[in-house]
Amino acid sequence: MDTCSPKQVLTMKDLTTRQQEILTFIEHYEWRNGYWPSIREIQEKFSFKSTNAVMGHLRALEKKGSIERIPGQARTFRINRPDAPEMNEIPDEATEVVDIPVMGDIAAGYPDRVEPAGEIGRLQVDIASAGYSSRRRSFALQVRGDSMVDAEIYEGDMVVVEPRDPRDGDIVAALIDGETTLKRYIQKHGEPPYLKAENKFYPELYPINELTVQGVAKAVVRSL
């Protein structure tokens, strides 16, 4: 993820700051909970004293094409993302569809039901092209370095991590020297666990403390 993202193509009608905030909250909410927020939940979030404040913004967002709703039905949103930068003109880079947060530093773990801290971008994987449900909470990390090449994970790949306790053999996202890296988690029968790089040129072993392991890598995604 580069610092400047000229990718913010504003295909869609520009949103006001407030509208953007509302939209972001709605997306975030669904992301974390698996279902959409109700008008009143949005109202509460922004401390509006009337649901009509929300209604106004929703109407605006709908008119600008950012969202769709089913009139009268509860919690039935549909977000119209800028539809993947029409990756037709730019045949490189990820071509995508699903939106999952890319964390820069997840040292503090991933807070449940709270705005993610340390989000540095979003990974949009074509996976989402399919529809899908949810299990929120996972996040993605982009691989740097070649410490996992023996596991066929290369620099640039996105690794989907789910925060949970690791078991022997799992590849985990670990915080080492203030940096989040991927390592193999080894824990043999009764012995103390340790981490190991998957690159024969990195015969390194790493000790573990409570806060080291941030989650278990569950999938590798490489945009072609």
Partner DNA sequence: CTTGACAATGGACACTTGTTCACCTAAACA
Partner DNA sequence: TGTTTAGGTGAACAAGTGTCCATTGTCAAG
Q: Residues interacting with DNA, by CB under 7 A? A: 16-19, 38-41, 46-58, 60, 69, 71-76
Least Cβ distance, residue 142 to a copy of itself (angstroms): 14
Find the angle CA(179)-CA(176)-CA(118) to the nearest 5 degrees. Answer: 35
User: CB-hemisphere CA count at 13 Å for 62?
Assistant: 13
Q: Which of 15, 19, 22, 32 binds a copy of itself (CB under 8 A)?
A: 32
Question: Please, which residues have CB within 8 angstroms of residue 211's CB and are 6 or more apart in sequence?
Answer: 107, 175
Convert residues 37-66 into a mask of x (bound to a copy of itself by CB under 8 A) and - (unbound). -x----------------------------
Q: Which residue among 61, 171, 197, 213 contacts a copy of itself (CB under 8 A)?
A: 171
Which of DNA, a copy of itself, none sits in contact with 182, Cβ below 5 to 8 A by type? none
Instruction: Give 68 or 115: the residue with its C-beta nearer to DNA.
Output: 68
User: Is 147 a residue of the active site?
Assistant: yes
| Cβ at position 67, least distance to a copy of itself in Å | 11
What is the C-alpha radius of gyration for the chain, rounded to an integer number of angstroms?
20
Q: What is the DSSP code string of 117-182?
A: SSEEEEEEEGGGGS--------EEEE--SSTTGGGT--TT-EEEEE-S---TT-EEEEEETTEEEE
Biggest alpha carbon distance in the chain? Answer: 62
> Could you give the dihedral angle defined by the CA atoms of residues 14, 78, 124 and 37, in that order, rounded to the nearest 10 degrees?
100
Closer residue to DNA, CB minimum distance, 38 or 142: 38
Closest separation between CB of residue 53 and DNA, Å? 4
Binding string, residues 75-114; x marks residues near a copy of itself by CB under 8 A: xxxxx-x-xx---x--x--xxxxxxxx-------------
107 binds, options DNA, a copy of itself, none, Cβ within 5 to 8 A by partner type? none
Here the tokens at position 207 are 């000790």
Burial letters 177-214, b for 16+ CB under 10 A, else e: eeebbbbbbbbeeeeeeebebbbeebeeebebeeebbb
CB of 6 to a copy of itself, least distance (A): 22
Residues in the chain: 224
Least gap, CB of 39 to DNA (angstroms): 3
Instruction: Judge whether 5 counts as a catalytic residue.
Output: no
Q: Report the residue from 33, 142, 187, 199 that binds a copy of itself according to the rule CB under 8 A.
A: 33
**What are the residue numbers of the active site?**
147, 183
